[in-house]
Amino acid sequence: MSTFDFAVRPQLAEDVARIVRQRVFDGTYAAGAYVRLDQLAAELGVSVTPVREALFELKAEGLLDQQPRRGFVIRPVTVRDVTDVAQVQAHIGGELAARAAAAITDAALDELTAIQGELEAAYAAGDGERAVRLNHDFHRAINVAADSPKLAQLMSQITRYAPEAVFPTIDGWPEESNRHHRRLLDALAARDEDGARSAMSEHLAAGAAPLIEHLTRRGVIA
């Protein structure tokens, strides 16, 4: 069986897309490299259908171009791209946090606080994979509390471009992120809409500079 064990996961195209995104942002796939449909399907041990779906999804996200008779090619990741994504995330995420502050229940706030406790423990243990999942859960819980499904859907689409798995490896980011999250939790507990908007916006915008520095060191950004 392939080391990429897709057998228990039904969303094959999403899994393939996640792997290709990771390879783009860790430098495995350099700008200008071609992603061969048949070759990737054989490597991952899946049919070409989910791979094709994944590559078209990544084309729509702007990570790939499709060239006639040559296939899919990796587009360059630029400083402007990363900055633009962070700014849009900051705007939409801030609005979602403000709406969550107005509507969040005590039970949801308790759940969010518990997630943050587990996230801090994962960071302290150096468990980056678990930290990425918990960070996703933290932000998702806020988006659910905002009760604005279309806005949350837009946020989800934008966030796909942001390489979440990179952040636990960036020096100083776990500590800074925890400070941001705790400030956000305080605003949510106070039902402070403006405070929640500000805390979330600053949190999401703050990730751009260290991410650009990290990707530049890895050669992902020229």
Identify the pLDDT of residue 4.
Answer: 57
Instruction: Decide if 12-74 and 79-217 have a common fold.
Output: no
Identify the pLDDT of residue 61.
Answer: 87
Q: Which three-class secondary structure state does DSSP give residue 35? A: strand
Supply the DSSP symbol for 28: S
Residue with tokens 């990707």: 215
Residue ranges per structural domain of the chain: 12-74, 79-217
> Length of the chain, please?
222
At the top level of CATH, the class of 79-217 is mainly alpha
Residue with tokens 């406790």: 117
Fold of 12-74: Arc Repressor Mutant, subunit A (1.10.10)
Mean pLDDT by 10 residues, the chain (222 residues): 48 90 91 94 93 94 90 94 95 98 97 98 95 96 97 90 85 95 98 98 96 92 84
CA 202 to chain centre: 17
Whether 167 and 135 have beta carbons less than 8 Å apart is answered as: yes
- The b-or-e profile of 64-89 (16+ CB within 10 A means b, else e) is beeeeeeebbbbebeeebbeebbebb
Identify the pLDDT of residue 31.
Answer: 94
Q: Which three-class secondary structure state does DSSP give residue 66? A: strand
Find residue 178's DSSP bridge partners: none
Whole-angstrom Cα distance, residue 20 to residue 31? 13
DSSP 94-160: HHHHHHHHHH--HHHHHHHHHHHHHHHHHHHTT-HHHHHHHHHHHHHHHHHHHT-HHHHHHHHHHHT
**Structure tokens of 70?**
């040559």
